[in-house]
Structure 1
């Protein structure tokens, strides 16, 4: 549960940090000035949409900090980089290193020349042959590209 009085104090910290008054802050995040006024006076509680607009316009604001005061403002970039490095280290541990005799092709879609991998590919091909014919289609319906920023694009070849 969000403590409204503490939330208002944190909101005022954000206003001071960016040197904004309430009306310019409301305009910047795309909410009505009256709704921000009601929120600052304690009349209304913040909506999820309101919180998300703040986070979208001001990326330095930490979600947990604005909701319950845990964390820091502005976001501590050193902690973020440290967490990203830890994730990268874990990912590196799970990536198998290629064998010396394995031939890595420039073309990402070419078949791997490692005999161990060929057996697994042949097994998958045999598994696919046991599937009903209507499961696989030779025509591509659509391709969806997902980007790291949360957006996506759909490609329809037909």
Structure 2
């Protein structure tokens, strides 16, 4: 049996890691907002369906870590990728003149960029296509 209080702390860590609110997290995993609220408050225990939805929506979350606190979050391989992406994002926002070099460095071999889509937190996006 899982420790509900510890599970709640780990779930909150996942929500915070992705910068989500309880509402947006509920939407992403496909549950009602009240489900998240009740689990975080300790009123309800998570169902198997709830746990599976978290795992399928956020592959960086390991089952044993979420349930028992054993393992890593985010998964080690994903954590290294996240750090790399975070560093590239920081460079993109702080040093616009090096953006083209970062893009060139990220393309390997004979691959060319066809399209870049930037998604904003307000739900809008910009689409840049190769001419």
Q: Which TM-score bucket, shorter chain as reference?
A: 0.5 to 0.7
Moved over 6 A (4+): none
* CA RMSD in angstroms, aligned pairs only: 1.1
Shift of 1:76: 1.2
**Structure 1 segments unaligned to the other structure (5+ residues):** 79-158
Cα distance in 1 for partners of 2:15, 2:44 equals 18
Q: Give deviations 1:71-126, integer Å, cap 9, x for gaps.
A: 00001129xxxxxxxxxxxxxxxxxxxxxxxxxxxxxxxxxxxxxxxxxxxxxxxx
Provide the TM-score with structure 1 as the length reference: 0.48
Give the match's secondary structure for 1:59: coil
Count of equivalent residues: 78
Cα distance in 2 for partners of 1:13, 1:39 equals 13
Do residues 5 (structure 1) and 5 (structure 2) align?
yes
More helix by share: 2
Q: Give deviations 1:5-52, integer Å, cap 9, x for gaps.
A: 000000010011000010000000000001111111000000000000
Larger gyration radius, structure 1 or structure 2: 1
